[in-house]
Structure 1
Amino acid sequence: MFLGNTKNQKPGLFGLKNSNRDFTQKNAWGKNCFNSSFPASLCSYLHHRNLENIYIKLNSNLRVEHSNIDTTNFYGIDPQSDNLFYAFETQFTPYQQYLIGTLPGVDLVTQARDTGICLQAIEIKLTALPDNTTCDLSEEFYGCEIVVRPDTIVYLACSIAETFRQNPSYIKNLAGENFSGISDWTEPDCVIPYIPQMINVIDSIALSILENQKPFLMQPIWKTEGKSPKLSENCLDVFVWSDLAFTRLFIDLAKLELNAFGRIRSIARHTRTIVWLFRMLYDFSVNSSFSHRRIIDALSYNTKNDKAFAVSGRVTHAYMRSEALRQPRIQKNEIKRIILGGGQNLLSPERRFDAIIYNSPDLFD
């Protein structure tokens, strides 16, 4: 296993020996590639350092709690194994059976090279710490923004549906006949009164499978010194959300609205995500599959579908608060052990005019 740069090394990333990206080529280092391949490498590097990922799980009080998950359990295979293949932006084909239409890709699928079997579907969110809502707070209150794609909700629904593969009607029984009164699912006024019941059903589903929750989303963090682009000395770590814990990011926001106003006032993005997830799981419970594209396109509620929802660092801090968030475990001098063979020279970072001005105080001397 590589431990650092040498003159004879080819550009590469620690641990990513077999993948569908050629890291000797510049096009494998573009922003969209780097944002998933670097986190996969970082996760492998943590394993090399005998460190586990911080695992955010749901407990019986419907609150998140932290434990640890090693990368072997997360990937479904030892990250140092020659049998591991990293398939980026690929379909996790075991989930196709739950969908009508084409299965979207996921950021990373770990596979066994000898059999081709898909081991784990992993959504990846490489996030900056702090974000613009927490950068002016004291360091202990720093948080990361998370922006979620609609396809992530499709994979979330599939992850939960898989647990009920042998008994999909369990979800239908939980829902009962409560939702037969929705005359038009595309009209907010018809749906809004039922959202509290949808939340109750999703919560009941979660409580019934707490022991079966599984790793779902990898969230590596990179920490800077406040607003500046200068990395903190301790700057890298990895959080992993279970599928059930991840639901809290949008369900808890709706519960706050219910507690404050006694009702859901409109279908905001996070509320729409509840409707999407509920409808996907309900259709699965009736038909053993669901049409994700039809649900997402029809139930847009006059809001663009470019993203499912987003939550700021002020929101995520409550879920991620930990010593690893305050002081990540990987130091910046270790990055040269993760990015190998001069790979950093193939990066093509976005040029941000505001960042250039902010970091050029001499312009105003």
Structure 2
Amino acid sequence: MRALEIKLTALPDEQTHSLPENKYGSEIVVRPDTIVYLALSIASTYQSERNTLLSIMGPVCSTIQDWENPKEVQSLILDMISIIDGILLDKLDKQKPLLLQPIWKTIGKSSVLDINCLDIFVWSDFAFTRLFIDASLSKSTYKITRLSRTVIWLIKMLFDFAKNGRFNPKQTIDKLTYNTRNDKAFALGGKSTHQYMVCSELVKPRLTKHIFKNIILGGGQNFLSPERRLDAVILSTSGLFEKERE
């Protein structure tokens, strides 16, 4: 038994709603806690092989004197990515589920559910690293972005685990900010996530909208209270932009 994070996402998102259906994608926003869970999951795989982990990470990570100095760590980001790849490739058969991503599909950008509207995707701990590692490689290495900072966070936590058998996630995330807020780790739009999720279930989710009558029972829909947003109210108020008659 293990805990799994659930991240509900809409399909399509702002980036992909105007594209053909087979190009739709969902935006995913990742919080720092998810990276902590990821580090814990990978660390558990190496629980009895910390020396192996240290031998992989030590040659690069032990050269860093000040992890809070962006100039010192920035030049090593590509090396850090290679380290993560090596750590994962050595244990591919040990990857574990990390995150459940249910999707709900609408007709284009509208607020109307598509007939086939519900499905779910499962990210393993190893697969999840592709989101920020691949995107880091495609971004400029001249500055530390949220994506490359996530690489640094993961490396620092795993290196501390390899040395000490534990790590302090709060200290890592609070101190290694590199002048960027740490309210979120990173976010990727549907154009980026599509390549990892593309399949027949993304184009045509397996559950239809009729399943809701078997999910929400006893008139429970009458207790739903959607968030009140000004943009939604403006959009749904008829005649708001009609010219007044003289």
TM-score of the superposed pair, with normalisation by structure 2? 0.94
The structure with the greater share of residues assigned to helix is 2
Q: Residue in 2 aligned with 1:329?
A: 206
**CA deviation after TM superposition for structure 1 residue 359, in Å:** 4.0
Alpha-carbon distance in 1 for matches of 2:225, 2:138? 41
Alpha-carbon distance in 1 for matches of 2:14, 2:44? 37
Q: 8 Å contact 1:250–1:270 — kept in the other structure?
A: yes
Q: CA RMSD in A?
A: 1.3
Alpha-carbon distance in 2 for matches of 1:359, 1:181? 58
Alpha-carbon distance in 2 for matches of 1:327, 1:272? 35
Alpha-carbon distance in 1 for matches of 2:201, 2:125? 21
What is the SS of the residue equivalent to 1:241? strand
* One-letter identity of the residue aligned with 2:196: Y
* One-letter identity of the residue aligned with 1:272: R
Q: Residue in 1 aligned with 2:114?
A: 232
What is the SS of the residue equivalent to 2:173? helix
Q: How does 1:170-209 map to 2 (within 5 A)?
A: 170-209=52-91
| Residues 1:353 and 2:220 are matched in the alignment | no
Count of residues in correspondence between the two structures = 242
* One-letter identity of the residue aligned with 1:136: S
| Structure 2 CA distance for partners of 1:360 and 1:323, relative to 1, 3 Å | farther
The structure with the greater share of residues assigned to strand is 1
CA displacement, residues 141-165 of structure 1 (integer Å, 9 cap, x when unaligned): 1110000110111000001111111
Alpha-carbon distance in 2 for matches of 1:278, 1:342? 49
Alpha-carbon distance in 2 for matches of 1:184, 1:170? 24
Q: 8 Å contact 1:228–1:359 — kept in the other structure?
A: no
2:94 alignment partner, one of 193, 212, 230: 212
* One-letter identity of the residue aligned with 2:7: K
**CA deviation after TM superposition for structure 1 residue 336, in Å:** 1.1
Structure 2 runs not aligned, ≥5 long: none
Q: How does 1:141-180 map to 2 (within 5 A)?
A: 141-180=23-62
Alpha-carbon distance in 1 for matches of 2:126, 2:239? 49
| Residues 1:133 and 2:15 are matched in the alignment | yes
Alpha-carbon distance in 2 for matches of 1:209, 1:361? 58
What is the SS of the residue equivalent to 1:289? coil
Alpha-carbon distance in 2 for matches of 1:158, 1:307? 18
Q: 8 Å contact 1:279–1:295 — kept in the other structure?
A: yes
Q: Residue in 1 aligned with 2:124?
A: 242
| Structure 2 CA distance for partners of 1:360 and 1:142, relative to 1, 3 Å | farther
Alpha-carbon distance in 1 for matches of 2:239, 2:66? 60
2:168 alignment partner, one of 266, 283, 291: 291
Alpha-carbon distance in 1 for matches of 2:236, 2:62? 58
Q: Which has the higher contact order (CA 8 A, sep 6+)?
A: 2
The percent identity for this pair of structures is: 54
**CA deviation after TM superposition for structure 1 residue 344, in Å:** 1.9
* One-letter identity of the residue aligned with 1:266: K
**CA deviation after TM superposition for structure 1 residue 209, in Å:** 1.0
| Residues 1:266 and 2:143 are matched in the alignment | yes
